Structure 1
Amino acid sequence: MVVGAGLVGRACAWQLQQRGHQVQLLDPGLNGSPDPNSGSWAALGVLMAQVFHRSSGRGWRLRQRSLSLWGDWRQQLGAQGWPLAWRPGLLLLASGADDLERQQRLVASRQRQGLPLELWGQTQLDALAPALPAGAVGGLYSPADGQLDPAAAMAALLADGLRLGLQPICDRAEQLERHAGGWTVHTSGGQTLRADAVVVSAGVASAGLLASLGHNQPQEPVLGQALELELAAPTSWDTPGPWPGAVVWQGVNLVPQTNTGDPGSGRLWLGATLEPGDQADPAALAHLRALGGAAPAWLEQAAVIRRWQGHRSHPIGQPAPLLAQLEPGLLLASGHYRNGVLLAPATAEWVADQLEP
């Protein structure tokens, strides 16, 4: 049983099915009404793997493995009639000399590893349309990183899981109990469910489920707000001149939308804020909308089409993500913070590996 049907939970369930396991997926949002505060539904899907600031360690290995697996998964799911919306390319803007120096060091490191990062100068940035924030003094371009639509990925994983025999259970886990040879899951709807193994991937709620078993894995919510904007002047993101992919400015993602049905619609995702706790701050959203005072005129003039928010699960006192086999047959796969979309495949592979004989 996988508890939690966000992107990581669905990925774990699907990967386990690929290995031949019978899987139950437990989540109250499986009735078609997902939790509007879910981190997966609020994610923008920007994958930062090769631009990661480290070049070794667990975080580096997970990111590189996940980026590779996403390529394989896009082919597998696409072959079953579930194409994933993928836009390659990621441009990280430098806002000053310190940023430029860090980018230069990273490019040199990646070149030694044989990875194709590029430094872009002011002339290249000035040639892009619409105009980038005026404070951008350079950029780091990664052709292998990019952006994946999280909603499409979640729909594809669930649909293909159902094809493979996934058992969805629309209910909420309330309590886990050990029993001889496996686990019992009590739900808020009064069900008593049995499983040989349980994967807990329920975000912040994971901590409460595990505490009654004596496992201290605290997590805290970090709220993120995001916007979908429509430019005043129609823009086609797929013609020469526009951006080479998603753009990151001082931690804020600007994600062109090319799958709206209108290639000239000029829509853009903008996000997300970082707000400790679970209460949205209007001032934080206004700061995001203005890019901290660096928004170009075209962005200030864009109309807000949609706004949304979600809670990221942030581990307390441990690095993200939380991947642990707590007991035989009890796995924790949660606390991915801002990288749930990126790390979902590598997490799912790790989970499946732990449950193999």
Structure 2
Amino acid sequence: MVGAGVLGLAVAWQLLLRGHSVRLIDPGLDSPDPARSGSWAALGVLMADVFHRSSGRAWRLRQRSRVLWEGWLADLEASGHPVQRRRGLLLLADGPAELERQQRLVEQRQRAGIPLELWDPAELAALHPPVPHAAAGGLYAPRDGQLDPASLLTALWQEARTRGLDTSRDAVASLERSGRDWLVRCRGGTSHTAAWLVICAGVSSSALLEPLGHRLPLQPVLGQALELQLANAPEWNWPGTCVWRGFNLVPRPDRNGGARCWLGATLEPGEQASAQSLADLRGWAAAELPWLAAAEVVRHWQGLRCRPAGRPAPLLEQLEPGLLLVSGHYRNGVLLAPASAEWACQQIGAGR
């Protein structure tokens, strides 16, 4: 396997549970670089039930992952590797048109037995600290929420190592066919042979696969995020993560007496950070909230997501016999990790 982000670790762990031998190759295993890794830079927000579609592959993957996450988190905790989770997500409506769309979605979901609620301005006004006054209402999803990416990556890593994960802290130079197997040559001079090769290398996947004739439409999208220290520790009564104008604000009651929150992330095509995008994020897209304006930025980080161009995310494909691609998850790597890992395990288990 190539790539040790959340997807690579998730696939490796699940393969190990099924009795496979797994070698994970990634130079970042020596010293993961949060400035370049999408997984380490993620906020871990889970949006399954609030997804705007109600059918199709993307919907099925989200719902399958939502179910699998329940079992995964229980298994990790039972093994002594708990992952911090905050249930609930409130998607604020930016005007009457969006509120009307939310109303239709609530009606569709409720007919399907999915618990969504529409919140009115009076319910929003009762939240502390205040949410943006311009919000016309909100869509509350109790089954969505947020996972702490750092504790998740640590848990998957520790659990995989406990199960016998083999690792190589080297950079891949080339991929080659070797009879019926795959040969991975690394820049440090080592090589590895395997019957199955799984590529989970994000935006680096394109460069690895192009010499084999596979041109992948993968584009980097930079995301910036902030950790804020509030002037006074509020008694958060938010129902979970709050989404406003495309940005997520994640309360962190576990940090510094409840006076911390995360804010992110920007969507910036390419690899260069924009000062204006950061300013929009810092103001939570013109939220005009005194408590937010008075907060101090204590951490600023960024990472690259991998987005398919002209194709739906994610890319879950068998490119050749024994060669799997698990990449292009864009903003939903954490959310879709379970369903993506299940798909990879099914392909390998079936020997296709």
If the length of structure 2 is used for normalisation, what is the TM-score? 0.98
CA shift, 1:265, in A, is 3.2
Query: What SS class does the counterpart of residue 331 from structure 2 fall into?
Result: coil
Q: Which deviates further from its counterpart, 289-298 or 132-141?
A: 289-298
CA shift, 1:218, in A, is 2.2
Structure 1: distance between partners of 2:316 and 2:32: 28
- The equivalent of 1:252 in structure 2 is 247
- The equivalent of 2:53 in structure 1 is 54
Structure 2: distance between partners of 1:323 and 1:236: 42
Instruction: Letter of the 1:336 partner, please give it.
Output: H
- The equivalent of 2:262 in structure 1 is 269
* Equivalence map 1:59-208=2 (5 Å): 59-208=58-207
CA shift, 1:187, in A, is 1.1
Instruction: Letter of the 2:170 partner, please give it.
Output: D
Give yes or no for the alignment of 1:330 onto 2:323: yes
Structure 1: distance between partners of 2:271 and 2:161: 33
Give yes or no for the alignment of 1:226 onto 2:225: yes
Match for 1:351 among 344, 347, 350? Answer: 344
Structure 1: distance between partners of 2:232 and 2:314: 41
Where does structure 1 lack aligned partners over 5 or more consecutive residues? none
Give yes or no for the alignment of 1:24 onto 2:14: no
Q: Which deviates further from its counterpart, 33-42 or 296-305?
A: 33-42
Kindly indicate whether the alpha-carbon contact (under 8 Å) linking 2:14 and 2:342 is maintained by their aligned counterparts in 1.
Answer: yes
RMSD across aligned positions (CA): 1.0
Structure 1: distance between partners of 2:274 and 2:10: 31
Structure 2: distance between partners of 1:168 and 1:140: 43
CA shift, 1:31, in A, is 1.2
Instruction: Letter of the 2:283 partner, please give it.
Output: A
CA shift, 1:254, in A, is 0.3
CA shift, 1:19, in A, is 1.0
Give yes or no for the alignment of 1:304 onto 2:297: yes
Query: What SS class does the counterpart of residue 49 from structure 2 fall into?
Result: coil
Match for 2:287 among 260, 281, 294? Answer: 294
Instruction: Letter of the 1:257 partner, please give it.
Output: R
CA shift, 1:35, in A, is 4.9
User: How many residues get paired?
Assistant: 350
Kindly indicate whether the alpha-carbon contact (under 8 Å) linking 1:173 and 1:187 is maintained by their aligned counterparts in 2.
Answer: yes
- The equivalent of 2:314 in structure 1 is 321
Structure 1: distance between partners of 2:235 and 2:7: 32
Kindly indicate whether the alpha-carbon contact (under 8 Å) linking 1:200 and 1:332 is maintained by their aligned counterparts in 2.
Answer: yes
CA shift, 1:281, in A, is 1.1
Kindly indicate whether the alpha-carbon contact (under 8 Å) linking 2:34 and 2:41 is maintained by their aligned counterparts in 1.
Answer: no
Kindly indicate whether the alpha-carbon contact (under 8 Å) linking 1:321 and 1:333 is maintained by their aligned counterparts in 2.
Answer: yes
Query: What SS class does the counterpart of residue 293 from structure 1 fall into?
Result: coil
Query: What SS class does the counterpart of residue 88 from structure 2 fall into?
Result: strand
CA shift, 1:188, in A, is 1.8
Structure 1: distance between partners of 2:87 and 2:181: 43
Instruction: Letter of the 1:205 partner, please give it.
Output: S
Structure 2: distance between partners of 1:310 and 1:79: 31
Kindly indicate whether the alpha-carbon contact (under 8 Å) linking 2:222 and 2:267 is maintained by their aligned counterparts in 1.
Answer: yes
Structure 1: distance between partners of 2:41 and 2:337: 15
CA shift, 1:292, in A, is 2.5
Structure 1: distance between partners of 2:287 and 2:254: 27
Change (3 A) 1:299 1:148: same
Structure 1: distance between partners of 2:12 and 2:234: 39
Structure 2: distance between partners of 1:6 and 1:23: 15
Query: What SS class does the counterpart of residue 355 from structure 1 fall into?
Result: helix
Kindly indicate whether the alpha-carbon contact (under 8 Å) linking 1:90 and 1:143 is maintained by their aligned counterparts in 2.
Answer: yes
